[in-house]
Amino acid sequence: MDYFELGYLGLFIASFLAATILPLSSEFIFLGFILSGYSPSKAIAVATLGNSLGGFTNYGLGYLGNPKWLKKLGIDESTLTKFQNRIQKYGIWLGLISWVPFVGDMVTVVCGYFKVKFIPFSMLMVLGKFLRYIFIYFALA
């Protein structure tokens, strides 16, 4: 798909898809838009919005998860409880690293699965994603 032909909608779609488990890097597409002369402030806003909505989608998929699925994968109850305790302790703060490629996608799913408080988690997730695009822009400039 040629995201540039779609303009900001293309950037939104690429940023959204990159926040899912699809192997896509929104950073390079974002850079392409900036280098092509698109407005940096609009590109940052659109990329942050798309990437954040993708993160919300992952959170929702995790939220709908079924504990029986993990047991079928061989994860025992004590391991699950230990992992859940750590997620509940640091959960909202994990939103800040949800922008990290590949890792961040799983973070959002796991936080949804363990029902981390959505509002504070989502605020930190959006902040982390926003700061990443700001950093990329200023590193380029």
Which runs of consecutive H residues, i.e. helices, occur in the chain?
8-18, 26-35, 40-63, 67-72, 77-90, 103-113, 118-140
Helix (H, G, I), strand (E, B) or coil at 114: coil
49-87: pLDDT as tens digits: 999 999 999 999 889 887 777 666 666 677 777 778 878
- Residue 92: pLDDT above 80? yes
What is residue 127's DSSP assignment?
A: H
* Residue type at 71 in one-letter notation: K
Its pTM stands at: 0.87
pLDDT given for residue 106 in this prediction: 83
Alpha-carbon distance 94 to 124, whole Å?
8
Token pair for residue 85?
A: 């305790």
